[in-house]
Amino acid sequence: MDCNDCRNDEMKMDLIWNEIVTEEDISNLNNLYGYFEDSVIVSMNYISGNSINDEFVGDFQGNNDLRIIFQRLDRNPFSIELWFAHTKQIKLLFVNPSDKCQMDIMKAKVCRNNNSVFWTMWDEFNPFNEEHQKLNDVVFVESECLKWRVIK
């Protein structure tokens, strides 16, 4: 999928992003970041693009941009940022630190089908299986476009 909106925002911010377009792009990201092994989510920023002005008129852009910064127990690279543009679904499970549950990511992957790009912690997740996308206990993000960059 062409992400012209992503490119326009990228030019405004003057940042260099790697866009996921092909299976090779996905393989390169998964391999570079070691399938997110021993990583954690450091921060997330979600911007819907929607607003209401002083006259109570809504402006609904529906960009649904989600950015997630990851860090991991490896220095090459240590931190990356994923930019999910036009996000369709966000299914994350948060753990209270006092529950003494493991909060790191053991393994995750980026994958895609004909319409969307996914980031998921379920190794057996099949982006072409619509039933997988309906499960409540599956952690994933689905968007029309995904870009990523290494954070120095």
DSSP per residue, 130-150: HHHHH-TT--EEEEEEEEEEE
Residue 152, both tokens: 């120095």
The identity of residue 49, as a single letter, is G
pLDDT for residue 30 is more than 80: yes
> How far apart are the C-alpha atoms of 100 and 125, rounded to whole Å?
27
Give the model's pLDDT for residue 5: 54
CB 13 within 8 A of CB 19: no
Per residue in 108-128, pLDDT tens?
Answer: 999 999 999 999 999 999 999
pLDDT for residue 19 is more than 60: yes
pLDDT for residue 7 is more than 70: no
Give the model's pLDDT for residue 73: 92
Give the model's pLDDT for residue 11: 41
> How large is the average pLDDT for residues 15-26?
92
Question: What is the DSSP pairing of strand 39-47 with strand 65-72?
Answer: antiparallel
Q: How far is CA 15 from CA 10, 11, 36, 80, in A?
A: 6, 7, 23, 14
The single-letter DSSP state of residue 33 is T
Q: Identify the H or E element spanning 31.
A: helix 23-32
Per residue in 45-97, pLDDT tens?
Answer: 999 988 899 988 898 887 899 999 999 999 889 999 999 999 999 988 776 66
